A and B are shown apart, each in its own frame.
Chain A
């Protein structure tokens, strides 16, 4: 029975991969989503059309498929670009897929939030001589953040569990690791992975509640 600590330490180690994908995806997809949101609200029609089509494709196809296409696509299509060999290539490819996918979802949440801010807030800023960027960053943004926190929180929690999809291109994340034990006839490590996710999401929930409380000092 002294294999238990070994298994747990290997599960923990592989869960760190999930955590790294989670963190990197958030760091890049949250701001990228804003850029995409601006594109989808652009007054320049071709750009708006292009961006909205892109968002439609990304949201309309399975993330699992996107992982496969992004990882194997360049090689199969004989592109000059190729991912680095070995585990680092698989890790980077997984992150790229997650970032693009989540940025598209975030962009739609941002767009909804931005468009929900009353016109009067912009106009009040304009008659006070503020520039467009001052109005956005000093007046609009915080109101948008307050409004979109719950749906963004939902996406963030979904992302925690979606990181397990990275195994489809052989990233050794926690469920893939547990699966190796299942193949040897040991089922409890697979169940144990659930606890990792539960604890992680529990902490996230606390953080999200705290953020929401932080922003409850005003009403918008």
Chain B
């Protein structure tokens, strides 16, 4: 059994079927890149994994534990969902940092709120908060922002903001970190620094699902590539397989179109 198993996920918005029978799995430490044109359902799939959308059918299993099953509505209460979604972290296309908090506070806020629910919080308040602070600083050092701890989001560049968002997602130590087109809202000269951070995470065997339009990056960093079109997984395989020898006509066309645009 794989670390993450996504089983026949379906999702419709009104009459529009956005996801059709999505099946895939992911091993611990593996990096999957999801590619495909806009409107192919990539983002909706990530949003389903993070409980921002509720699939109409199908199930999601992490580490042998069913965390979502459309057939079992009793397991979908808000309080349950809140805990379960912590298996996943999500980095948004447009960062969504909290503007009124400093860089460090953005990273530590959620952890502090969660710590308050711990039984021993009152006794060890200081130590716990201290630990969260240290952890936050460590994460920000990892993404190269040690000198920006006390800045507010509007005072730093888009690339730096996205790196803060990555540190924020890492702060709760999710099992699987998801990226929704993490560089699409950035100027070309800023994408490099964000991709570098993600690449470093891949080297540390962080389990990741990356929705991206950066084909070279996907080929580089992913262990497996999934190509989606029109709500279905058309093809998946190693980067070599998908990029060099695509089996499906739709994949070929997508890659051809992509290459043409960038020549």
Interface residues of B in 210-238 (CB under 8 A from A): none
Chain A residues, Cβ within 8 Å of B101: 218
Q: Does B196 contact A (CB under 8 A)?
A: no
Is the C-beta of B52 less than 8 angstroms from some C-beta in chain A?
yes
Total count of chain B residues near the partner, CB < 8 A: 29
Is the pair A129, B83 in contact by a Cβ cutoff of 8 Å? yes
Does B98 lie within 8 Å of A129, measured CB to CB? Answer: no
Smallest CB gap from A119: residue in B: B96
B109 interfacial by beta-carbon distance below 8 Å: yes
Q: Which residues in A have their C-beta under 8 angstroms from that of B86?
A: 129
Summed over the interface, the residue pairs from A and B with CB atoms below 8 Å come to a total of 65
* Partner-contacting stretch, out of A8-16, A107-115, A138-146, A152-160: A138-146
Structural contact, A218 and B100, CB atoms closer than 8 A: yes
In the assembled complex, A79 has its CB within 8 A of some CB on chain B: no
Measured between beta carbons, the chain A residues less than 8 angstroms from B172 are 128-129
Look across to chain A and name the residue whose beta carbon is closest to the beta carbon of B114.
A129
A24 in contact (CB, < 8 A): no
For B110, give its contact among A118, A129, A143 (CB under 8 Å). A129
Contacts of B92 in A (CB 8 A): 120, 123-124
A213 within 8 A of B: no
Chain B proximity mask over A118-136: 1 for CB below 8 Å, otherwise 0? 1011011111111110100
CB-CB under 8 A for A131 and B152, given A124-B98, A143-B100: no
Given known A-B contacts A120-B96, A139-B98, A142-B100, A132 and B78 have beta carbons under 8 A apart: yes
With A127-B50, A129-B83, A139-B98: A218-B154 Cβ-Cβ less than 8 Å: yes
A126: chain B residues within 8 A (beta carbon): 51-52, 85
Q: Give A220 to B101 CA distance when docked, in angstroms.
A: 11
A217 at interface, CB cutoff 8 A:
yes
Please state if A217 and B109 are interface contacts (CB–CB under 8 Å).
Answer: no
| Bound-state Cα–Cα, A134 to B79, Å | 13
CA distance A76 to B105 in the complex (A): 58
What residues on B are CB-neighbors of A219 within 8 Å? 99, 152-154
Residue in A closest to B86 when the chains form the complex, CB atoms: A129
Q: Closest residue of chain A to B93, judged by CB?
A: A120
Beta-carbon contact of A121 and B114 below 8 Å? no
Check if B110 sits within 8 Å of A130, measured CB to CB: yes
- Name which of A127, A131, A138 has the most chain B CB atoms within 10 A of its CB: A127
Interface size on A, residues (CB 8 A): 23
A127 to B172, CA, bound (A): 10
Which residues of the other chain, B, contact A134 by a CB distance below 8 angstroms? 113
B51-69 to A contact mask, C-beta < 8 Å, 1/0: 1100000000000000000
Given A138-B109, A138-B113, A218-B152: A129 in contact with B96 (beta carbons within 8 A): no
Interface residues of B in 69-97 (CB under 8 A from A): 78, 82-83, 85-86, 88-90, 92, 94, 96-97
Contact pattern, B 91-129, Cβ under 8 Å of A = 1, otherwise 0:
010101111110000000110011000000000000000
Residues of chain A with a CB closer than 8 A to B96's CB: 118, 120-121, 123-124
B168, CB-defined interface residue at 8 Å: yes
Most A CB within 10 A of own CB, among B90, B98, B152, B168: B98
Residue of B nearest to A131 (CB): B82
Q: Which residues of B contact A120 (CB under 8 A)?
A: 92, 94, 96
For residue A118, which residues in chain B have a CB less than 8 angstroms away from its CB? Answer: 96
**Partner pick for B99 among A123, A129, A131, A143, CB 8 A cutoff:** A143
Contact B82 A129 (CB under 8 A): yes
Residues of chain B within 8 A of A125, CB atoms compared: 110
Q: Which residues of B contact A138 (CB under 8 A)?
A: 109, 113
List B residues at the A interface (Cβ < 8 Å): 50-52, 78, 82-83, 85-86, 88-90, 92, 94, 96-101, 109-110, 113-114, 152-154, 168-169, 172
Nearest 7 CB-CB pairings of A with B: A128-B110, A124-B96, A120-B96, A219-B154, A127-B90, A220-B99, A218-B100
9 pairs of residues in contact across A and B, judged by CB atoms under 8 Å: A120-B92, A123-B96, A125-B110, A127-B51, A130-B110, A131-B82, A134-B113, A218-B152, A218-B153
Q: Which residues of A contact B (CB under 8 A)?
A: 118, 120-121, 123-132, 134, 138-139, 142-143, 146, 217-220
- Given pairs A123-B96, A217-B100, 12 additional interface contacts (CB within 8 A): A120-B96, A127-B52, A127-B85, A127-B88, A128-B169, A138-B113, A142-B100, A218-B100, A218-B152, A218-B153, A219-B152, A220-B99
